[in-house]
Amino acid sequence: MGDLKPLLAVLSGEARAVPPLWLMRQAGRYLPEYQELRAKAGSFLDTCYNPRIAARITLQPIERFGFDAAILFSDILVVPDALGQKVWFESGSGPRLVPVESDAEIAALAESFDIEKLSPVFETIDRVKGELPKSVAFIGFCGAPWTVASYMIAGRGTPDQAPARLFAYRRPEAFARLIDTLVEASAAYLIRQIDAGVEALQLFDSWAGVLPPSEFERWVAEPLKKIIGKVKAARPRVPIIAFVRGGATHLAGLSERLGAQALGLDTAIDPAWAAETIPAGTALQGNLDPLALLAGGAALDREIDAILRCFSGRPHIFNLGHGVLPETPLEHVSQLAARIRGTGN
């Protein structure tokens, strides 16, 4: 156990004096070297499906900041793409999809699922694993069914996922079918990521926080539990982090219910509450405000220290409460890494 990579040690339940550090969206627009490769690769999806470039982008933040984990460079919307839905990204305005609507369109998705469409992602994983420094863990991921379905229904990002929420109230059977299709496809996709070489998984339920409790149960908790059950049945040893953004008080018993080894905490969760309420065997990941990182200075130091204090003595992975913002200065990320490791002042 002593020779596990720090991130994997924490996921196995070990508390470390210096928590392992990585950041959601660490491979992305705040890095000039990312911008440079993106400009060469064509569209965003072309970048995701170019193993040579996607592998380089995955490694960029490790090379610059020495994070303890690399996260596969891809996107949650490659799964709808593999299900045959038309997906593209418009620069400046984010993802676009041709919305799924009719029962027939929803039924057709499972039929047209082609996991081989994602083979460039598995090739990216294969390339990265040979190049990672020995102590750096490799995280694979997918979007949770509710979050992915919300984009499939709306056809774009929205402030509150109202189109999918309405759809789920009005046509619960059709929506359940879509969710089931995503459970099956996501589990198969994650298992293939493990076989290609990732060592841990994160499930992103970025839009869990817009649902009332009954809908949370049906569209967030149940599908996540099913995916984790399927992945664990096939590959029992790979640890899983559930990032249920806006999960609020649902987080209290969620890790045991889902069978997840860690919970990602969003910015609004009080670390003291989480440390007290969530069972000590569950690793906690988070939860610095991305805007504190953008602001830097004394406010950043103060927020970092408060989080470190609350989680000291428990298995903790230092991360943000959501993704790095594109405007974040690189020096602030260096300030963060130095402070966590006790090499700053």
Active site (catalytic) residues: 25, 29, 38, 75, 151
Binding to ligand 1CP (CB under 6 A) within 108-147 occurs at: 141, 143
CB of 179 to ligand 1CP, least distance (A): 17
Given the complex with ligand 1CP, which of 27 and 288 has the nearer CB atom?
Answer: 27
Q: Which of 7, 10, 24, 178 binds ligand 1CP (CB under 6 A)?
A: 24
- Please select the residue that binds ligand 1CP; options are 27, 154, 185, 333, rule is CB under 6 A: 27
Residue span 40-59 as binding mask against ligand 1CP, x where in contact by CB under 6 A, dash where not: ----x---------------
Site string (284-323) toward ligand 1CP, x via CB under 6 A:
---------------------------------------x
Q: Crossing angle for the helix pair 172-196 and 103-112, nearest 10 degrees?
A: 20
Placement of tokens 């198969």 in the chain? 188
**Beta carbon of residue 103, minimum distance to ligand 1CP (angstroms, whole number):** 26
Answer for which of 68, 75, 81, 199 binds ligand 1CP (CB under 6 A) is 75
Q: Which of 21, 54, 59, 76 binds ligand 1CP (CB under 6 A)?
A: 76
Contact (Cβ atoms closer than 8 angstroms) between residue 337 and residue 302: no
Pick the binder of ligand 1CP from 85, 186, 206, 255 (CB under 6 A): 206
Q: Which stretch binds ligand 1CP (CB under 6 A): 73-81, 162-170, 313-321, 331-339?
A: 73-81
By beta-carbon proximity to ligand 1CP, the closer residue of 248 and 275 is 248
Which residue's Cβ has the minimum distance to ligand 1CP?
A: 157
Q: If binding is defined by CB under 6 A, does position 220 make contact with ligand 1CP?
A: no
Binding-site member from 10, 37, 62, 71 for ligand 1CP (CB under 6 A)? 71
Residues in contact with ligand 1CP by CB under 6 A are 24-29, 38, 44, 71, 73, 75-77, 89, 91, 94-95, 141, 143, 157, 204, 206, 323
